[in-house]
């Protein structure tokens, strides 16, 4: 019955990597996890207008590395890098460790599910019709090269008293296929009549998988079965090969076949002495000297035909009409 699974968590460890890459013992795990949650919330609020799609953290014994995937790196960096320096100082005060901030640009923000959901939420906050906002976002994402998009909104849509769920989809979004690269993002639109949740799924194709290894070339057996195994391979014969060779008897030689008798060439005299088979035509022509051949039966058509004279026909004179 309708067990919903997070698309990123479903593929975690199989095709997708973790966003938090660090390890800690049992006593230190809880404070570090809460610290990660605080840092992410602070960065999402501070860089709300920078198009922040994903935050990755990596810890070492004395340093913390934060990678920001953003569609607008200029807003994060600021003039001369002043914004990044201020952000780094704040993070170092919170964590008490040396912090390194890395920025990676998202070249196609239409294919990032988190940015697609934030775009729809921003339009809902500006009182744009939810169906129009969903349809425009679907068209932009499909034009950017996605194979499938799904957007869902939940809440008091259009200011209605009863909350409901509306969604739309283009292309295909195979949620149950592990190798399908599906990005998921969700956010909330804060409107005057309540909050509206927005979720987006973007399917961009399958994860690249390794090609299957090619099978090894089959080793051909030696043509002569009597040759030892070690000699056929090119190595010195081992005791095991000698035992195998002694156990397997050598094949018996094939019996000699006597050559077939060659027929003698046929001479002209022998050919003349051989009686030839009489054909039907020769049988009909060979009759007794005193007897005449029986007359052939005349057909009806030949009986009715009469002999025609070879003389040419005289031209028929035409009667001329006399003019009165």
Q: Give SS3 for 79.
A: helix
CATH superfamily of 110-206: Ribosomal protein S3, C-terminal domain (3.30.1140.32)
pLDDT of residue 217: 58
**Band of pLDDT at residue 150, cut at 50, 70 and 90:** very high
pLDDT of residue 208: 85
Q: Which secondary-structure segment (H or E) carries 245? A: helix 239-247
**Band of pLDDT at residue 153, cut at 50, 70 and 90:** very high
Produce one character per residue of 104-127: b if its CB has 16 or more CB atoms within 10 Å, e if not.
Answer: eebeebbbbbbbbbbbbbebbeee
Architecture of domain 7-107: 2-Layer Sandwich (3.30)
Rounded to whole angstroms, the Cα distance separating 182 from 112 reads 10
Structure tokens at 36: 């990660």
Domain residue extents for the chain:
7-107, 110-206
> Is residue 135 over pLDDT 70?
yes
Q: Which secondary-structure segment (H or E) carries 105? A: strand 98-105
Rounded to whole angstroms, the Cα distance separating 291 from 276 reads 25
pLDDT tens by residue, 41-82:
999 999 988 999 999 999 988 899 999 999 999 999 988 888
Higher pLDDT, 266 or 224: 266
pLDDT tens by residue, 270-314:
555 555 554 554 444 444 445 555 555 555 545 444 455 555 666
């Amino acid at each position: 019955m309708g067990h919903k699974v997070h698309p990123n968590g479903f593929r975690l460890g199989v095709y997708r990597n973790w966003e938090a890459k660090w390890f800690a013992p049992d006593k230190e795990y809880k404070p570090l996890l809460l610290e990660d949650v605080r840092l992410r919330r602070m960065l999402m609020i501070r860089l709300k207008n920078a198009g922040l799609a994903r935050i990755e953290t990596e810890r070492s014994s004395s340093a913390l590395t934060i990678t920001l995937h953003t569609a607008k790196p200029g807003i994060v960096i600021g003039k001369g890098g002043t914004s990044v320096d201020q952000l780094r100082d704040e993070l170092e005060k919170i964590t008490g460790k040396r912090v390194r901030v890395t920025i990676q640009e998202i070249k196609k923000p239409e294919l990032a599910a988190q940015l697609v959901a934030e775009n729809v939420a921003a339009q809902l906050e500006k009182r744009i019709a939810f169906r129009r906002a969903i349809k425009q976002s679907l068209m932009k994402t499909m034009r950017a090269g996605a194979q499938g998009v799904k957007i869902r909104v939940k809440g008091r849509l259009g200011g209605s008293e009863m909350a409901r769920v509306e969604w739309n989809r283009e292309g295909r979004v195979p949620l149950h296929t592990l190798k399908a690269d599906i990005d998921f993002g969700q956010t909330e639109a804060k409107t005057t009549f309540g909050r509206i949740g927005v979720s987006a799924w973007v399917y961009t194709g399958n994860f690249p998988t390794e090609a299957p290894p090619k099978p090894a070339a089959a080793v051909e057996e030696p043509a002569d079965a009597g040759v030892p195994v070690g000699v056929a391979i090119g190595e010195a014969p081992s005791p095991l090969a000698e035992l195998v060779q002694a156990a397997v008897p050598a094949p018996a030689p094939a019996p000699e076949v006597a050559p077939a008798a060659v027929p003698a060439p046929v001479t002209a005299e022998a050919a003349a002495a051989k009686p030839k088979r009489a054909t039907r035509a020769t049988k009909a022509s060979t009759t007794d000297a005193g007897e005449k051949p029986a007359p052939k039966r005349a057909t009806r058509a030949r009986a009715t035909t009469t002999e025609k004279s070879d003389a040419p026909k005289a031209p028929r004179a035409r009667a001329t009409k006399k003019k009165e």
